[in-house]
Amino acid sequence: MAPGAARRVLEGQRAAPGMVLGRARLQLAHQHAIDGTPLPADAIDGELARLDTALAATRAELAELRQRLHGALAHEAEPFLDTHALILDDPELRRGLIEMIRQGRYRAGAALVAQRDRLIEVFRRMDDPYLRAREDDLSHVIARVLDALERGGHQGERRIAARLGEILVTENPSPAELATLARHGLRGVIATAGSSYSHAAILARSLHLPMLCNVADAAAALADGDLVLLDGEDGLAIAHPAAQDLAALRQWQRAQAARPRPTPRPAVPARTRDGETVALYANAELPGEIAEARVLGAVGIGLYRTELLYLRQPALPGEDEQYAALRELMLALDGAPATLRTLDLGADKAIDTGLDMPAEDNPALGVRGVRHGLRHPAILRTQLRAMLRAAQLGPLRILLPMVTLAEEIAAVRAHAQACLAELHAEGVPAPQTLPPLGAMVEVPAAALGVRALLEHCDFLAIGTNDLTQYVLAADRNQGALAGLYDPRHPALLRLVARVAGAARRAGKPLSVCGEIAGDAGALPLLLALGIRELSMLPARIPAARAVVENADCTSLRAVVPRLLRATSRAEIEALLCKLQQP
């Protein structure tokens, strides 16, 4: 420790596991000078040309970065670079910018910032934390274009200093920046903002690069060159670590060295020590996630979100457009199964889309999911027709969100049967019978009335994210309620047990696709309650497989009576500790 330098522990959110020691390198966010004065009418054409030149330079930068990456790094980074390229080439984004410049007399930089801020507000109103984190991608792309504008459209990157042995301290790195720095020997990342759902965090996990996010005071507490121990296991950054900290690092390194190296796994179910099989699926919505899921051994896609098709444009996507996206999914899966969730956008998410959804005081309890579909059958049937056409290309299931009543499932089934008859009459390739139709259990009434649902559906999927917030009356996006929002609450576990028992007696498949499905520490609880299908973020599959393969379901079932009698989270945690002991 340097003379006078005091040890200091900073807390953050775990984004990528691991422990590393390195020197801090602060990278302050670049502030763009935005000219907000109105654009003269005779300068409009020139400003549009500036914008197009900056867009072209940004495309060239991304293409050049893609070419500079090689081997495993290129494989891991390519999906995220693809996402940024798609944002950059979005025709609606460019049309909006042109309209602002031509009609609103915005300068190019001001138009980019206004478009970014408008779209970020849409993302921030979303319930799904993964979708909310997509605002980072938008911000990173717009920042690149603003950089190019300031350079007069000349291609170029900020110079990357040597990163060997350094830990980057920054606000919110982009995946492109992270890929570049990883080539220069970066050891880890401490982000003062960001999310564990960001593409930078996903890439860091893929590259085994320890990362923390939301370390709010890191920029003020650390200086260039400070020695930092980044502990991605416990979510800590220790400035000027003491002898006991370095001893803990060495102990962790020895433990890692003793572990057998993981190898790519085939897409087969995991098997517990006593021979029970558990199917590990992935949640996905982007091509990169599908590719990642296949590499990591997912047996299929357990939750495919369809909302992005509606968020990309102000007009509703047609049947052919939806089918084209689903066709790419099914071809990428090459025979592996997919569960397609129908549209689940509430009024808070539908701003600037083609969906006619009036504002609601409480969108989480409003007209969303299957409720919206049954009130707008033309939108629902367009989506069902596209899904039925895709069912010719591989095994798929159709999952209905926000189900409350068995009658809702019956009504959608009638629509699906009618759509199938239409496709047959039109000579459009479609299966002879309906693919399995299932319901999400995310409303307390669905869990309590699960037997009625099972009479009308072919399978169930428990969405623990929404079910938790509805049962506990705790907004999962409200930081002040983070201590209350916990899917391991006794009430939640009793509902999961109720649904699992009913599905087992009915002989129908049941999966869990909420965050708890990818929580390695909580998986023994789900296994004890009889859950044998889990769907999670692709990056969490290896850890989940390791937990499953080390589990003994016979022993886990023995603690279920105590588990269901628990009256507090403390009791649940104590049982969980026992379940995790070898």
d(CA 62, CA 87): 12
d(CA 89, CA 82): 10
Helix axes 490-506, 569-580, angle to 10 degrees: 60
Number of H helices, E strands in the chain: 25, 17
Residues 550 and 572: beta-carbon distance below 8 Å: no
Q: Both tokens of residue 427?
A: 């000579």
Mark 148-165 as b/e (b = at least 16 C-beta within 10 Å): bbeeebeeeeeeeeebee
The helix/strand/coil state of 86 is: helix
CB burial of residue 222 (10 Å; 0-12, 13-18, 19+): buried
Catalytic residue among 140, 199, 372, 456: 199
CB burial of residue 567 (10 Å; 0-12, 13-18, 19+): exposed
The helix/strand/coil state of 20 is: strand
199 catalytically annotated: yes
The helix/strand/coil state of 82 is: helix
CB burial of residue 472 (10 Å; 0-12, 13-18, 19+): middle
Residues 346 and 363: beta-carbon distance below 8 Å: yes
CB burial of residue 128 (10 Å; 0-12, 13-18, 19+): buried
Q: In 391-505, which ranges are E strands?
A: 396-400, 437-441, 459-462
d(CA 431, CA 54): 48
The neighbour count for residue 33, using CB atoms within 10 Å, is 8
The neighbour count for residue 97, using CB atoms within 10 Å, is 21
Strands 227-231 and 277-284: unpaired
513 catalytically annotated: yes
The helix/strand/coil state of 167 is: strand
Closest by alpha carbon to 488, among 444, 521, 534? Answer: 521
Closest by alpha carbon to 382, among 352, 355, 347? Answer: 355
Query: Which residue's structure tokens are 């500036």?
Result: 50
Q: How far is CA 49 from CA 45, 55, 114, 149, in A?
A: 6, 10, 19, 11
Catalytic residue among 213, 419, 457, 513: 513
d(CA 525, CA 569): 13
Closest by alpha carbon to 390, among 338, 426, 427? Answer: 338
Active site (catalytic) residues = 199, 513
